[in-house]
Amino acid sequence: MEGIELSIFDQKRRIDSDELERFISDNKMHLDTILSGESAYADSLGWMDPDQWAGEEALSGIIAKANEVRESSDVFVLIGVGGSNQAARAAISAFQKSGPEILYAGNNLSPHYMNRLLEHLEGKSVYLNVIAKNFETLEPGICFRILRQYLEKRYGAQAAGRIAVTGTRGSSLNRLADDNGYTFFCFPEDIGGRYSALSDVGLFPMAVAGIDIADMVQGAKAMSEKLHSTPASENMALKYAACRNLLLKKGYCLEMLACFEPRFQFFGKWWTQLFAESEGKDDKGLFPVTVSYSEDLHSIGQYVQLGRKMIFETFLDVIDKDSSLPIQSDDKKDYFDYLNCKDLWDINKAALNATIDAHSEGGIPCLKISVPRLDEFYFGQLIYMFEFACYLSGKILGVNPFDQPGVEDYKINMFKRLGKV
C-alpha cells in the first residue's frame, strides 16, 4: 500500500457512485478556491503550509527545550483545553515510549481532580507548559495560577525555569512570560486551536514525550503536496468531504469515527473537536462522535446495527502489523481452540472486517481510511488530511470552518455569573 487510502463499503447503495461523482464535480470549485489561496480566511490558514510554523529552525528550538525538560523532569503537566491540548494528547497517547510522565490539566474545573494532581506531584520534579491562544479561557487560566503558585512554593525563584508558556505574541500570557522569565513559545495568530497540531502548540509537548516531530511534519508536508496536486476526481480530502455532505443530505446526521486500535483513542477526541467546532453552526453540520471498538461493539454496536438509520461510520485501519501475539494452545477446555496459533493482530482485523460487513449489510454506509503504518509520519498525514477535509467540508456545507461563536455564548454567561467585568 502506497499511502493513505479512502474506500467505501455501502452494500445497500446509500451513496450511488454516479451521484458521488456528480457531487464531487459540483463541489470542485471549493477545492479550486482553497488551492488558489482564499483571502476570506487568510487570518486562519497558517496551518496550510507546514513549513510556515514548523520549519527547521522552529523544530530545532522546540527539540532543544524539550530535551532539557526530558532530562530534568519526572512529570510534565500540559495545561490547556480544546484545540490547545487535543493534538498533543492524541500523539502522546499513541507514541510515547520514554520521557516524563505527562499529565493533563486546565481541561476541567474539578477541585477533586486538581487536589489529586497536586498530591501526585509531591516529591517529583515538575515542569509546566500552559497553552492558550486567548488567555481568557477559564480552565487553563485558573489551573495555571494554582500550579504556578505550587511551583513557586516548592522551588522559589527557580520555579520560572520550569514554566513554558505558549501564547500569541503581544498577549497577556506573553507579557506574563516576559515579566517573570518563563520560556515563551508562539501560538500562531493565523491558526485556531483545533488546527494548531503542527505548530509550537502541539509540537513542544509531543517533543517532550520523545515523539519524532520532524517526521510528523514531513508527513503533513507530503499530504499537503498530495492534496494540492491531485485532481478533484481523485482527491481524497474532497472525496471524504463529499461523502460526508452527501450522507448528511440523505439524513445521516451523525458520523462515527471507529477505531479498533486503542492508540487512536485520543486521536478520536481530536477529530471530534475539529469537526464539531468547525461545522456545528447555523443549524447545520454532522454530529461527530468517536467509538473504541471492539469494546463499544458490545454497547453502541447494537444501536448502530439496528437503531435509527441516522449514523454512518468512518473506520480508521492500520495496515502494517506492528505488534504480534500468537494464541498458544491450551490443555484446559475453554472452547477457544479454534483460535490456536492465530495472531491477536489478525483476530482484531477479522473483527474490523466483520463489523464493516455487518453494518454495511444492515444499511449503514461505511467509509474506511486505511493508513499504511501507525507512526509519526502517517500521523502527520492524517492530521493534515482531516484539517484540509474539514475546511473543504465546511465550505460545501456553507459554514465558516474557522470560527466558534457557539462556544463564546456559554462563556459570556459564565463570566457574568462569576462577576467578571
Give 137 or 355: the residue with its C-beta nearer to ligand PA5.
Answer: 137
For ligand PA5, which stretch binds (CB under 6 A), given 118-126, 128-136, 243-251, 290-298?
Answer: 128-136
For ligand PA5, which stretch binds (CB under 6 A), given 1-9, 79-87, 209-217, 382-390?
Answer: 79-87
Q: Is 411 a catalytic residue?
A: yes
Report residue 288: phi and psi, to 5°: -90, 130
Each residue 389-408 as x (binds ligand PA5 by CB under 6 A) or -, in order, gives ---------------x--x-
Among 81, 28, 95, 42, residue whose Cα is nearest residue 382: 95
DSSP letter assigned to residue 5: E
Q: Which of residues 249-278 bind ligand PA5 (CB under 6 A)?
A: 277
Among 314, 306, 317, residue whose Cα is nearest residue 286: 314
Q: How far is the CA of 329 from the CAs of 335, 341, 347, in angstroms?
A: 11, 7, 15
Q: Using CB under 6 A, pick the residue from 100, 188, 193, 401 that binds ligand PA5.
A: 193
DSSP letter assigned to residue 185: E
Q: Do the beta carbons of residue 131 and residue 79 sit within 8 Å?
A: yes
Q: Is 298 a catalytic residue?
A: yes
Question: What minimum distance in Å lies between the beta carbon of 273 and ligand PA5?
Answer: 6
Give the helix/strand (H/E) hosting 130. strand 126-131
What does the block give as the cell for 250? 440523505
Give 44 or 73: the residue with its C-beta nearer to ligand PA5.
Answer: 44
> Which among 97, 112, 153, 298 is annotated as catalytic?
298
Q: Does 83 bind ligand PA5 (CB under 6 A)?
A: yes
Q: DSSP of 324-336, one letter per residue?
A: --BPPP-SS--S-
Give 278 or 360: the residue with its C-beta nearer to ligand PA5.
Answer: 278
Each residue 134-163 as x (binds ligand PA5 by CB under 6 A) or -, in order, gives x--x--x-----------------------
> Which among 277, 279, 313, 387 is annotated as catalytic?
277
Among 367, 397, 395, 411, residue whose Cα is nearest residue 6: 367
What's the length of the chain?
421
Given the rule CB under 6 A, which residues bind ligand PA5?
A: 81-84, 132-134, 137, 140, 192-194, 277, 404, 407
Q: What residues are annotated to the active site? A: 277, 298, 411
